[in-house]
Amino acid sequence: MTAAAVCFLAVGAHGIWGRKIYLGLIDKTNLPAREKSISAVSWDVFTIMLSVSGLSLLFVAFNRHAILMAYPIMAIHLMGACLFFFFMAKGHKELVALPGAYLMGAIGVLTLLAIQG
């Protein structure tokens, strides 16, 4: 249930607040329109992934027989966090200040703890 709550908080932060900031910055660049559109779609797809993760984890919390649904959610969030940390280690230090790695890691670990509990 806690992992689902973190997902829903992340949807709000990422999908509303973060989208406004990110797309505002992207619009100010000289990127071609196609790349700006792809960037916006990528941002929104991640928000959708957070929404589906939260809804699925909420379903599992109330329907323990559906526990297998939690495993791919756990995997995608742990793998996403690892990707963030990999890029941080490769020199992309600006990622340290962004919440992506920490939110994905928290959702993955909280899901793992719920599965084991």
Structure token pair of residue 56: 């699925």
The whole-model pTM stands at 0.90
Tell the residue number behind the tokens 């495993």, with chain if given.
Answer: 71
CB 107 within 8 A of CB 77: yes
Question: pLDDT tens digits for 39-78?
Answer: 999 999 999 999 999 999 999 999 999 999 999 999 999 9
